[in-house]
């Protein structure tokens, strides 16, 4: 199907072979001669969001296209829309190397309309989850916070304020059950604010207001700060716990505080965390996502997991478009947040067991953990093995798949492969085993290597510019002469890594991390300077 982009068209669906819309006669040519729009996802006063196929790539992968249509024909408004459009594109390009933020694939102007092309995220929003499964338990909200706060800290590290965090802008990705933060739509709100103002000369630097109820007072007053996003996450938690939107709550007539405490039943510890997240005064609110992470603890809720899962199991309705329950998957039908929590706890228990010497008590605990994992996942796991088998592919298979358009190789066993000089731009190697893999002079620009095992890997002269390497294990890796400019290395293990001659300009890495690595006078530090040793 080809979708008509004329906003006034009453019947925009057309057969794929049509060149003009049967309803309005609007041209159905592909955008930029490669993107064929197939479905509308959302409409608003600023424009629309569409599902499309990129026919310029092998396999014609699905993507999302955001269209901005300025509704006023004033020349200064049009120029303002163009400036804001370019600003949003630059922001998305800067932050889009995080695995839980959709990548910016393209942006362009065509026929006085502006288009952003982004990675498609297959999944349901948290708003849809609540409508389908009901409100979250306290343990589910704890798990939500542990997932969303690291994403928030990342975008704040990039000096970006989201300004519109809410359940509808958080998608749980089907492939790995992880949350993805979407809609950094400053263009929509800033253009609308300008158009609706009495003067068309409003300063283009004014901030987007966001969504009523989720935006704190300082954001409504056009003075958002990083803590404004923390407030929005707090309101999202209340929604997840109650299934009620902010407009369904009463507010204190003097302070403007949302009166939510009597509507939820959670522990005193979580209540205190939420109260500080939802402080009307920025002065008394958490200042960073890391502060909130330090305040929450997941461990006390392990014992209540079984009860939480039992209370959240619900059959799918007959009208559910996803089909019938898959009885081969025992976790089908549970709230995905509870399933994700179970997975996190199982992984943490197994890692804890493997990290410590095995006493008789350790062995008993390991057997319990593996028995529980086998029961939950309906798998037969030999008790003698520490980890379940990981899929393995060879070098030729991987490179052939990449050439044919595949970019996602997350969680694969790629140890000791020969990928010298391979062009693997924007590949997803998240969580991969790349132990002793040869990536000499490989191009890994803007790639996701978060949580990957790269110990003793050869990355000499590799292009890792803008790569995401958070929590990656680079112990003993050869990174001599590698380009790590603008790379995200927070929490990466650099013990014994050879960074002689590497370029770390603007890289996110601490001095403590660099002190564990090997450097020399040719190493370019994050400030862009070499240090004389």
Neighbouring C-beta atoms of residue 356, cutoff 10 Å:
10
- The verdict on 372 and 479 lying in the same domain is no
- Decide: residue 248, CB within 10 A, 0-12 exposed, 13-18 middle, 19+ buried: exposed
- Residue 507 belongs to some domain of the structure: yes
Neighbouring C-beta atoms of residue 218, cutoff 10 Å:
18
- The verdict on 380 and 495 lying in the same domain is no
Query: For the ranges 63-67, 85-89, 105-109, 244-248, which has the lowest average pLDDT?
Result: 85-89
- The verdict on 339 and 286 lying in the same domain is no
Task: Fill in the DSSP letter of residue 207.
Answer: P
Task: Fill in the DSSP letter of residue 503.
Answer: B
Q: Using DSSP, how many helices (H) and how many strands (E) does the chain show?
A: 13, 10
Query: For the ranges 61-65, 212-216, 295-299, 338-342, which has the lowest average pLDDT?
Result: 338-342
Cβ-Cβ contacts under 8 Å for 483 (sequence gap 6 or more): 462, 463, 464, 465, 502, 503
Side-chain-side CA neighbours of residue 370 (13 Å): 18
- The verdict on 68 and 139 lying in the same domain is no
Confidence bin at 343 (pLDDT 50/70/90)? low
Q: Is residue 447 left, alpha or beta, with left meaning phi > 0 and alpha meaning psi from -120 to 50?
A: beta
- The verdict on 151 and 290 lying in the same domain is yes
- Residue 319 belongs to some domain of the structure: no
| Greater pLDDT, 18 or 309 | 18
Question: Residue-wise over 275-311: b if at least 16 C-beta within 10 A, else e?
Answer: ebbbbbebeebbebbebbeeeeeeeebeeebeebbee
The CA dihedral of 179, 447, 66, 100, to the nearest 10 degrees, is 10
| Residue 423 falls in the annotated catalytic set | no
Averaged over 40-50, what is the pLDDT? 75
For position 338, what pLDDT does the model report? 58
Confidence bin at 422 (pLDDT 50/70/90)? very high
What does pLDDT average to over the chain?
Answer: 79
For position 204, what pLDDT does the model report? 37
- The verdict on 70 and 149 lying in the same domain is no
Is residue 418 over pLDDT 70? Answer: yes
State how far the Cα of 478 lies from the Cα of 210, in Å rounded to an integer.
Answer: 46
Q: What is the CATH number of the domain that holds 100?
A: 3.30.200.20
- Residue 320 belongs to some domain of the structure: no
Task: Fill in the DSSP letter of residue 299.
Answer: G
- The verdict on 88 and 167 lying in the same domain is no
Cβ-Cβ contacts under 8 Å for 272 (sequence gap 6 or more): none
Is residue 17 over pLDDT 90? Answer: no
- Residue 322 belongs to some domain of the structure: no
| Greater pLDDT, 403 or 79 | 403
Please tell me the total count of domains within the chain: 4
Residue with tokens 């999944």: 123
Averaged over 288-295, what is the pLDDT? 92
Q: What does R_g of the chain's alpha carbons equal in angstroms?
A: 25
Confidence bin at 138 (pLDDT 50/70/90)? confident
- The verdict on 243 and 360 lying in the same domain is no
Neighbouring C-beta atoms of residue 418, cutoff 10 Å:
14
For position 473, what pLDDT does the model report? 94
Domain boundary among 364, 388, 412: 388
Is residue 348 over pLDDT 60? Answer: no
Q: What are phi and psi of 226, to 5 degrees?
A: -55, -35
Query: For the ranges 79-83, 228-232, 307-311, 491-495, which has the lowest average pLDDT?
Result: 307-311
Query: For the ranges 17-31, 94-108, 149-163, 302-316, which has the lowest average pLDDT?
Result: 302-316
- The verdict on 437 and 351 lying in the same domain is no
Q: What is the CATH number of the domain that holds 412?
A: 2.160.20
User: Cα 38 to chain center, whole Å?
Assistant: 25
- The verdict on 60 and 22 lying in the same domain is yes
Domain boundary among 370, 388, 406: 388
Query: For the ranges 22-36, 130-144, 214-228, 496-510, which has the lowest average pLDDT?
Result: 22-36
For position 373, what pLDDT does the model report? 41
| Greater pLDDT, 256 or 532 | 256
Full residue range of the structural domain in which residue 252 is found? 123-298
State how far the Cα of 456 lies from the Cα of 433, in Å rounded to an integer.
Answer: 11
| Tokens linked to 169 | 């802008």
Confidence bin at 407 (pLDDT 50/70/90)? confident
State how far the Cα of 94 lies from the Cα of 279, in Å rounded to an integer.
Answer: 30
- Residue 142 belongs to some domain of the structure: yes
- The verdict on 111 and 134 lying in the same domain is no
Q: What is the CATH number of the domain that holds 182?
A: 1.10.510.10
Task: Fill in the DSSP letter of residue 437.
Answer: -
- Residue 15 belongs to some domain of the structure: yes
Residue among 23, 33, 111, 164 flagged as catalytic: 164
- Residue 324 belongs to some domain of the structure: no
- Residue 146 belongs to some domain of the structure: yes
How is 457-501 classified by DSSP, letter by letter?
-B-TT-B-TT-B-TT-B-TT-B-TT-B-TT-B-TT-B-TT-B-TT
Is residue 399 over pLDDT 70? Answer: yes
- The verdict on 438 and 368 lying in the same domain is no
State how far the Cα of 213 lies from the Cα of 210, in Å rounded to an integer.
Answer: 9
Let me know: does 503 contact 489? Beta carbons within 8 Å.
no
Query: For the ranges 176-185, 323-332, 473-482, 502-511, which has the lowest average pLDDT?
Result: 323-332
Domain boundary among 60, 94, 119: 119
Q: What are phi and psi of 27, to 5 degrees?
A: -65, 140
State how far the Cα of 206 lies from the Cα of 208, in Å rounded to an integer.
Answer: 7
């Amino acid at each position: 199907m080809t979708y008509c982009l004329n906003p006034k068209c009453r019947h925009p669906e057309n057969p794929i072979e049509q060149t003009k819309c049967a309803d309005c006669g609007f041209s159905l040519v592909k955008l930029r001669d490669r993107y064929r729009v197939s479905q509308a996802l959302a409409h608003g006063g600023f424009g629309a969001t569409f599902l499309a196929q990129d026919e310029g790539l092998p396999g014609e992968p699905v993507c999302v296209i955001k269209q901005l249509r300025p509704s006023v024909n004033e020349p200064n408004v049009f120029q303002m829309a163009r400036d804001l459009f370019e600003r949003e594109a630059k922001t998305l390009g800067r932050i889009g190397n995080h695995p839980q933020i959709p990548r910016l694939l393209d942006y362009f102007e065509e026929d006085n309309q502006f288009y952003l092309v982004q990675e498609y995220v297959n999944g349901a929003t948290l708003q849809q989850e609540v409508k389908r499964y009901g409100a979250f338990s306290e343990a589910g909200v704890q798990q939500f916070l542990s997932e969303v706060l690291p994403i928030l800290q990342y975008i704040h590290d990039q000096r970006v304020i989201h300004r519109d965090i809410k359940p509808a802008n958080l998608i749980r990705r089907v492939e790995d059950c992880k949350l993805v933060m979407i809609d950094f739509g400053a263009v929509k709100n800033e253009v609308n604010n300008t158009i609706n103002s009495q003067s068309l000369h409003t300063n283009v630097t004014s901030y987007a207001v966001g969504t009523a109820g989720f935006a704190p007072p300082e954001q409504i007053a056009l003075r958002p700060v990083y803590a404004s996003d923390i407030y929005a996450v707090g309101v999202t938690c209340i929604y997840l716990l109650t299934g009620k939107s902010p407009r369904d709550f009463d507010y204190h007539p003097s302070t403007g505080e949302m009166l939510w405490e009597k509507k939820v039943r959670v522990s005193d510890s979580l209540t205190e965390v939420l109260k500080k997240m939802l402080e009307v005064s920025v002065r008394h609110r958490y200042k960073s996502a890391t502060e909130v992470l330090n305040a929450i603890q997941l461990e006390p809720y392990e014992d209540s997991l079984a009860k939480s899962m039992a209370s959240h199991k619900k059959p799918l309705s007959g009208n559910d478009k996803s089909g019938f329950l898959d009885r081969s998957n025992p976790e089908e039908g549970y709230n995905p947040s509870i399933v994700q929590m179970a997975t996190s706890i199982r992984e943490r228990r197994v890692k804890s067991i493997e990290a410590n010497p095995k006493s008789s008590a350790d062995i008993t605990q390991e057997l319990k953990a593996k028995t529980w994992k086998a029961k939950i996942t309906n798998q037969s796991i030999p008790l003698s093995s520490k980890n379940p088998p990981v899929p393995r592919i060879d070098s030729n298979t991987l490179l052939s798949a990449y050439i044919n358009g595949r970019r996602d190789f997350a969680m694969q066993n790629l140890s000791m492969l020969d990928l010298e000089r391979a062009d693997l731009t924007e590949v997803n190697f998240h969580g991969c085993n790349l132990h002793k893999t040869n990536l000499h002079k490989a191009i890994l620009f803007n790639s996701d290597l978060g949580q990957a095992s790269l110990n003793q890997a050869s990355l000499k002269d590799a292009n890792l510019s803008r790569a995401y390497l958070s929590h990656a294990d680079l112990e003993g890796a050869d990174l001599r002469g590698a380009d790590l400019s603008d790379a995200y290395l927070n929490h990466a293990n650099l013990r014994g890594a050879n960074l002689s001659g590497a370029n770390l300009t603007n890289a996110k890495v601490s001095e403590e991390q660099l002190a564990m690595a090997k450097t020399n006078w040719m190493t370019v530090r994050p400030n862009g300077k070499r240090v004389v040793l």
